Chain A
Amino acid sequence: MFYAKFFAKRFVAIVITLAAVIAISYIMMYCSPGGFMNTTQLASSLAPLAAQDPAAYQKLMEQFQLRYGLNLPLWHQVLLYEWHTFTLNFGNSMQNPTLSIMSQLKTALPISVILAFSSVVLSVVVGIPMGIIAAIKRNTWVDYLVTTLSMFGQAIPSFVLAVIFVLLFGVEWQNVLPVTGWGTVPEAVLPVVSLAAGNIGVVARYMRGSLIETMRQDFIRTAKAKGVKYWPLVLKHGVKNSLTALITVIGPQFAFSVVGAVWVENIFAIPGLGKVISTAFTNFDFPLAITAVFILGATIMLTNLAVDVIYAVMDPRVKLQ
């Protein structure tokens, strides 16, 4: 019962947030000076027509507006768009009028989600041991090495790392790992690693700090006094209790990875949602752009909700609110 209430509350919050995002982005794009028909290649190919036969050009523009409902008043457009989006009827994009946005999303969204998700998994798998080692070897060269490496990972954005990887594996060590494409495991290695580097740093630093904090607690001293050996003490008592706090980092990390995926996909030429977003935004393809942001936003918020629930289940001290 309690969980049902919690879910309902959070779900309503997510829906309201998404509705506001859609309305704001729609109004902003409506007010923007450029438009699909004025800025793309279409505009230059239509220019002769506009010069020779203004009436036909006018008719064409009206057809376009009718097709995408741009002749309606703004409030009507926004409400209609909200309704269509929440009923998952995304319509067609302007660049590919024959292709529905839904079919584009079906191929693109899983790629981005897998990319972001595997980078989070990799960062947890690599970052936790790094943090543990740094914490138990505190203030030695191992600790300094781990902390410095984490700083590097956090400071250098994924797209810089991605470009450097393209240089290393595309020019210096060819045929070791592919630098473009998507579909096989080797093709996924470089994008995932360049996305995970920042997250590894965050996880390692967080794990280190939280383990050091945990090892200072009273129950650790009690366990030690009772004669628990060193490794069981660290792993069973210390790490287990610091891990629960680490779950809270996963949500922001996923959001961070989604943004990173948008960048990395453009560099490694991966046909994911990031690539879709970049072409949609640069071409003023409004329906596609807003839908892509909507989908990514919904994914991020649902992930956060799941993370909160897992946190509460794993750590009984935490109360959902």
Chain B
Amino acid sequence: MAIAVSQSQQSVRRARKNSPMYRAWQRYRRNGFAVAGLGWVILFFIIGIIGPWIAPYSYTYADFLHMHSGPSWQHLFGTDTVGYDVFSQILYSVRYALEIALGATCVSFLIGIVLGLWAGLSGGIIDMIVMRAVDFMFALPSFFFALILVVLLGKGIFPMILAIGVPGWAGYARLIRSLVLSMRNGEMVEAARALGAPQWHIARRYMFPNVVGSMVVSLAFGIPYDLTAQAGLSIVGMGLNPPMPSFGNMLAQAGANILGFPWLLYFPAGVFAITLLSFLFVADGLQEAFNPKGGM
């Protein structure tokens, strides 16, 4: 009896060790950059959640008596040309950057998954129309579409999410369509169906584990792209409306006032660059983890 129990426990453990997710995690852990990146990304998320509560000043509070002051204990990262506290601005911009980047990635992904599934499953004329639309979106950089959408929608958080998210759907749609096609005609699914497996079992045990890797990787690459696009909009003056802080606004302002006050640049540019690097390391690590043979 005891032996039987331990055997069953062992088999459970072995099953967990052989699951695709577990093996992917094992491969991910070996990549030092990816783990370090993940650490920073988690910290970034935590700051995004609690940032506004631990910020020493509100982002609208301008300290007129300490304008242009360098880093000090009173203003950890110094103050800018209006007297805003740069440290608090960074904490708030992490929140807004995350809201917009995650929201935009979700919007792109949702549109992409709907259109990709629709095209892949129905085929024929619908497939053709959707793929022509994908070609259309790929013909021009999506940044230009985002610019035009900002003019239409305005410069708040929600408009930003839509402006960056809506033009980004084409890549996801193409990916999901190709996954659907490869699954629908795959031998593995056919074999399972021949063995009499029910539809939900096929979807859960055969389709989902094969699809989740590619989707997670594409989402992980999408978030840093959306962060960049959001800051890029600020650089051309179409970002979040000041005084709402954002990395792009801070960078643009730092570029304009750089000569006397370099600390305006060090901290925002540093945090932003490290964040983008971390997201890319995580995405790269995920790609290696889920797809050990492919990729470069």
**Are both chains from one complex?**
yes
Instruction: Determine whether the beta carbon of A155 is less than 8 Å from that of B238.
Output: no
Closest-CB distance, B247 to chain A (whole angstroms): 9
CB contact under 8 A between A281 and B238, given known A151-B280, A208-B296: yes
Q: Which of B238-291 touch A at CB < 8 Å? A: 238, 251-252, 254-255, 258-259, 262, 265, 269, 272-273, 276-277, 279-281, 284
A258 CB–B CB distance under 8 Å: yes
Report A299-311 CB contacts with B as 1/0, cut-off 8 Å: 0110000000000
Chain A residues whose C-beta falls within 8 Å of the C-beta of B149 in the assembled complex: 28
Cα–Cα, bound, A205→B287 (Å) = 15
Chain A residues whose C-beta falls within 8 Å of the C-beta of B139 in the assembled complex: 14, 17, 297, 300-301
Chain B residues whose C-beta falls within 8 Å of the C-beta of A40 in the assembled complex: none
Closest-CB distance, B176 to chain A (whole angstroms): 21
**Smallest CB gap from B154: residue in A:** A33
Cα–Cα, bound, A262→B147 (Å) = 12
Chain A residues whose C-beta falls within 8 Å of the C-beta of B224 in the assembled complex: 155
Chain A residues whose C-beta falls within 8 Å of the C-beta of B151 in the assembled complex: 28-29, 32, 34, 281, 284, 289
Cα–Cα, bound, A139→B255 (Å) = 39
Chain B residues whose C-beta falls within 8 Å of the C-beta of A289 in the assembled complex: 147-148, 151
Q: Which of B191-229 touch A at CB < 8 Å? A: 224, 228
Interface SS of B by simple majority: helix
User: What bracket does the count of chain A residues touching chain B fall in?
Assistant: 35 or more
Q: Which of B1-37 touch A at CB < 8 Å? A: 33
Instruction: Determine whether the beta carbon of B281 is less than 8 Å from that of A151.
Output: yes
B231 CB–A CB distance under 8 Å: yes
A108 CB–B CB distance under 8 Å: no
**Smallest CB gap from B275: residue in A:** A155
Interface SS of A by simple majority: helix
Closest-CB distance, A42 to chain B (whole angstroms): 17
Report A88-116 CB contacts with B as 1/0, cut-off 8 Å: 00000000000000000000000000000
* A61-69, A73-81, A165-173, A229-237 - the one binding chain B: A165-173
Number of interface residues of B (CB under 8 A): 40
Instruction: Determine whether the beta carbon of B147 is less than 8 Å from that of A277.
Output: yes
CB contact under 8 A between A259 and B238, given known A155-B280, A281-B147, A293-B147: no
B136 CB–A CB distance under 8 Å: yes
Chain B residues whose C-beta falls within 8 Å of the C-beta of A20 in the assembled complex: 136
Instruction: Determine whether the beta carbon of A167 is less than 8 Å from that of B258.
Output: yes
CB contact under 8 A between A154 and B141, given known A171-B258, A259-B232, A263-B232: no
| Among B147, B236, B269, contact of A163 (Cβ-Cβ < 8 Å) | B269
B125 CB–A CB distance under 8 Å: no
Cα–Cα, bound, A162→B265 (Å) = 11
Instruction: Determine whether the beta carbon of B144 is less than 8 Å from that of A163.
Output: no
**Smallest CB gap from A152: residue in B:** B277
Instruction: Determine whether the beta carbon of B269 is less than 8 Å from that of A157.
Output: no
Chain B residues whose C-beta falls within 8 Å of the C-beta of A148 in the assembled complex: 33
Cα–Cα, bound, A28→B167 (Å) = 14
Chain A residues whose C-beta falls within 8 Å of the C-beta of B147 in the assembled complex: 277, 281, 289, 293
B44 CB–A CB distance under 8 Å: no
> Besides the contacts A151-B33, A278-B238, what 11 more A-B pairs have beta carbons closer than 8 Å?
A155-B281, A156-B277, A159-B235, A163-B254, A166-B258, A209-B296, A262-B232, A267-B252, A281-B237, A293-B144, A293-B147
| Residues of chain B having any CB pair with chain A under 8 Å | 33, 136, 139-141, 143-144, 147-152, 154, 224, 228, 231-232, 235-238, 251-252, 254-255, 258-259, 262, 265, 269, 272-273, 276-277, 279-281, 284, 296
Would you mind naming 28 contact pairs between A and B with Cβ atoms under 8 Å apart? A25-B148, A28-B149, A28-B152, A29-B152, A34-B151, A159-B251, A160-B272, A163-B255, A163-B258, A167-B265, A170-B259, A255-B140, A259-B144, A259-B232, A263-B232, A266-B235, A266-B237, A267-B235, A267-B255, A274-B236, A281-B151, A281-B237, A289-B147, A289-B148, A289-B151, A293-B144, A293-B147, A297-B140
Give the 6 A-B residue pairs with the shortest CB-CB distance, closest first.
A209-B296, A278-B236, A155-B280, A282-B237, A155-B277, A28-B152
